[in-house]
Amino acid sequence: MSEKATDTPGLVLRHPDGSSFRFDPGALCLELLPTGGPGPLAYFEVLNEPADLVRWAEESRLPDGLAAVAGDGLAVDGLAVSRAEVADARALRDALWRLAEGYVRGAPPGPDDLATLNDAAAHPPLTARLTADGGRAWAAGGTGTGLLSTVARDAVDLFTGAHAHRIRACGAHDCRLLFVDTSRPGKRRWCSMERCGNRAKVRAHRVRLTAGDE
C-alpha cells in the first residue's frame, strides 16, 4: 500500500516484506499500477474493498478531499465507491500495466486492453470546482466510475502526449515498476534512488572492492 507524500512528489510504497520507499511515477495513471496487477503482480494486490480504492485516490497525486466512508455505493462526503467499481479498477489497472509495458517495448496495444481503457475514459470524470475562498474542492456526487474515468483520461493523455516515448521500466532486473521520465535530461533509470538506485550503487561498490582485491 502507499501513503501520500507531503513535501515531495510521489507515494510511499510499502512492500509486503515490510520495507518502504518513495516512488514518483510521474503520472496519475501510473500511480495506480503499484496496487497490484496481472499474473505474478497479484501478490501485491491491495484493492480488495471499496475503502481501498477511496484510500488510493486520497493518497494519489489528485488534490485532497476525496476521502470518504466507502461501502456498497454509500459515502459520507467525498467519493462513493461500490464493489463493482473496485473490480472495474482492477481491470483498468491490469490493462494499464499491459499497455504501458507495451509502450516500453514498442509493442502494439492489445484490442481488449484498448477497449477497457477507452470504455473507462468514456464516462464523465470527477469534477473539480472553485470555492469562494479561492480554493479547490471536488463537486458532490463523485463515484468510483468517475475516478476511473479521470485515471483513464490521464492515460490517454500520457500515451498520446509528448512524454509517451519516455515511459520506462525500472533498470533493476528484479523490479517492474513503470514511470514516465519527466526530467529535463531524460536520463532517469530507477523507480527510486532510495530503493533500486541505491541497491545498484551498493552492488557496483562491492564489485569495485572485489576487483581491487584481485
Would you place residue 27 in the very low, low, confident or very high pLDDT band (cuts 50, 70, 90)?
very high
**Residue 126: strand, helix, or coil:** coil
The model's pLDDT over 29-80, given as tens digits with 9 standing for 90+, comes to 999 999 999 999 999 999 999 999 999 999 999 988 776 544 554 444 578 9
The model's pLDDT over 96-145, given as tens digits with 9 standing for 90+, comes to 999 999 999 999 999 999 999 999 999 999 998 888 988 888 888 899 99
Contacts of 162 (CB under 8 A, 6+ apart): none
Q: What confidence score (pLDDT) does residue 150 get? A: 97
Residue 212's Cα: distance from chain center in Å?
42
Q: What confidence score (pLDDT) does residue 206 get? A: 57
pTM of the model as a whole: 0.84
Would you place residue 195 in the very low, low, confident or very high pLDDT band (cuts 50, 70, 90)?
confident
Residue linked to cell 484493492: 47
Residue linked to cell 500515451: 159
d(CA 186, CA 203) in angstroms, rounded, equals 24
Q: What confidence score (pLDDT) does residue 121 get? A: 98
Amino acid symbol at 151: V
Lowest mean pLDDT among 4-18, 51-65, 152-166: 4-18
What is each CA distance from 191 to 22, 44, 59, 115, 174, in whole angstroms? 9, 16, 18, 28, 11
d(CA 2, CA 14) in angstroms, rounded, equals 6
User: Does 148 have pLDDT greater than 80?
Assistant: yes
Residue 112, judged by CB atoms within 10 A of its CB (0-12, 13-18, 19+), counts as exposed
The model's pLDDT over 67-88, given as tens digits with 9 standing for 90+, comes to 654 455 444 457 899 999 999 9
Comparing C-alpha atoms, which of 100, 91, 67 is closest to residue 181? 100
Q: What confidence score (pLDDT) does residue 184 get? A: 85
Q: Sheet containing 2-4: which strands, arranged edge to edge?
A: 2-4, 11-14, 20-23
Q: What confidence score (pLDDT) does residue 102 get? A: 96
